[in-house]
Amino acid sequence: MRSKFRGAKGEGCLSRKAKPCRWHGAATLAVAFAVFGGSAGVGFAESWWEKMTTKGAPAPSGQTAPVAPAAPPQNEAPGTAAPAAPPVYVPTATGPVVPVMLPKIQNVSEYIELTGNAASVNTVKLIARVEGYLEKIHFKDGQVVKKGDLLFTVQQEQYRQQLIQAEAQVKAYEAALYYANIEVKRYTALARKGAAAQVVVDNWNFQAKKTAADLASAKAQVDIAKLNLSYTEVRAPFDGQMGRHLVDPGNTVGGAGQQTVLAEIMQLDPIYVVANLSEQDVLNVRANLGQRRLTYDELVNIPVDVGIEKGTGFRYRGTLEYAAPQIDPQTGTLLLRGILRNPNRTLLPGFFVRIRVPKGRDLPDALLVPDRALQADQAGRYLLVVNQENVVEQRYVELGQLNGQLRVILSGLNGDDRVVIGDLWRANPGTKVTPKLTTLEGSP
């Protein structure tokens, strides 16, 4: 049986004996394309194999095998449209899609980050300044109080009586002085008429002046009695928060030679933050300032950023309030103290805080990348960068300070480098990837 397939020019048919050779040659060429063609060769081989198998395979029973289209004649008439050429598959090598971004370029002020503690601006131990038994406590433990609020009352009755006694003594001396002055006038007039001796006049002058002195002393005793009476009421010296009371009502306080602490009050708004600056950092700041010394007015205007130890960022801002005049020889550090508002009492004395102070130098056109994009190995910190051929490179960098969630890169990175910021497990150095340019917010 002869095959129904013909060549492009219809020059005869293949015999049944030649058919196995043609199938063997087709299989050999398909294997060659699959081995040496890679991903591109697979598509071409499959297309070529389908054509060959379609040409050579016998049609199933009951169906007519498709006839290959004949080639156009060589001497085709002008103006006749040529049949469309079959599509050509152009292979493209792709890899996993990874998000990348260009470094953010902006001016950055350098800072020094320290770890310190919050401290109360004022802490006062309240004591009884007069002796007596404690009558009453007027606050709850831990209560927030205002300046002048009554906190404790010590026995008052004896001090009220002492005040009354002192006021009565004043009145007595006032009366005595009045009488002495009258006698001085009377005997002075009699002495001028020769009816009284001069010694009597001198005696009444002495009595008048002595009584005036006694009157002044009695008035001072009245002031002391009033002061002692006021000491029976212990009041808040400033706005603050009370600690727990240390003495219960009914106990005797303020005895001679003892200072009984009744409670403790702390001022929490404003609040101090205290840290120690290393000697090397001190020298670096001086170098950045050109060895110029800051005046006190300049010092108190230096901003201080504060963050809670386990928080993110620096939510609180204040100013530098004090810098020690010397380096502590035992620790080799310089004490710094800042002050900031704390209206909600978020910061409490003793809190560990992160403190950031300016280093005195700005970095123009600094490069910043997300801190999460950084990785580390034994050689140091590095970034994954996609080069122009879309191949991942490992780039070791020198790190600067952390600005929010962005890290300053001091060296090892260029402004046009595409930095891998996500799906880092897909981007291995040396592999080819498909970069997807994104922004810091993650949008393309």
* Three-state secondary structure of 160-206: HHHHHHHHHHHHHHHHHHHHHHHHHHHHHHHHHHCCCCHHHHHHHHH
Average pLDDT, the chain: 80
C-alpha distances in angstroms, 241 versus 62, 145, 214? 101, 6, 46
* pLDDT for residue 310: 66
- Please give the backbone phi and psi of residue 162, each rounded to the nearest 5 degrees, phi first: -65, -35
Distance CA 347, CA 283 (A): 31
Q: Residue 273's closest CA among 224, 239, 308, 240?
A: 308
C-alpha distances in angstroms, 88 versus 84, 241, 244? 12, 83, 88
Distance CA 309, CA 187 (A): 86
Q: Give residue-wise pLDDT tens across range 19-39.
A: 444 434 444 444 344 434 444
50: left (phi over 0), alpha (psi -120 to 50) or beta: alpha
Q: Which residue has the higher pLDDT, 86 or 432?
A: 432
* pLDDT for residue 361: 73
Q: Which residue has the higher pLDDT, 148 or 310?
A: 148
Report the interhelical angle of 19-36 vs 38-56 (nearest 10°).
170
Q: Give residue-wise pLDDT tens across range 169-189.
A: 999 999 999 999 999 999 999
Pairing of strands 434-437, 97-101: parallel
CB half-sphere exposure, 94, CA atoms < 13 A: 9
Helix (H) or strand (E) holding 35: helix 19-36
Q: Give residue-wise pLDDT tens across range 207-262.
A: 999 999 999 999 999 999 999 999 999 999 999 999 999 999 999 898 777 778 99
Structure tokens, 400: 């600067």
Residue pair 101/418 in contact by the 8 Å Cβ criterion: yes
Residue pair 175/207 in contact by the 8 Å Cβ criterion: no
* pLDDT for residue 400: 85
Domain ranges of the chain: 1-69, 99-108+364-437, 110-119+266-362, 125-264
Q: What is the band of 92 on the pLDDT scale with cuts at 50, 70, 90?
A: very low
189: left (phi over 0), alpha (psi -120 to 50) or beta: alpha
Q: Residue 440's closest CA among 370, 375, 382, 367?
A: 370
Structure tokens, 192: 């001028």
* pLDDT for residue 8: 39
Q: Which value, in Å, is the radius of gyration of the alpha carbons in the chain?
A: 50
Structure tokens, 307: 């963050």
Helix (H) or strand (E) holding 52: helix 38-56
Distance CA 433, CA 430 (A): 9
Pairing of strands 303-308, 261-278: unpaired
Report the interhelical angle of 198-231 vs 157-193 (nearest 10°).
170
Q: CA 224, 225, 229: angle at the middle one, nearest 5?
A: 115
Domain at 110-119+266-362: CATH code: 2.40.30.170
Any idea of the CA torsion for 286, 290, 293, 295, to the nearest 10 degrees?
A: -120
Per DSSP, the residues of 199-226 read HHHHHHHHHHHHHHHHHHHHHHHHHHHH
Q: What is the band of 109 on the pLDDT scale with cuts at 50, 70, 90?
A: confident
Residue pair 43/91 in contact by the 8 Å Cβ criterion: yes
Q: Could you confirm whether domain 99-108+364-437 is CATH 2.40.420.20?
A: yes
Peptide bond into 270 cis (omega under 30): yes
CATH class as words, domain 125-264: mainly beta
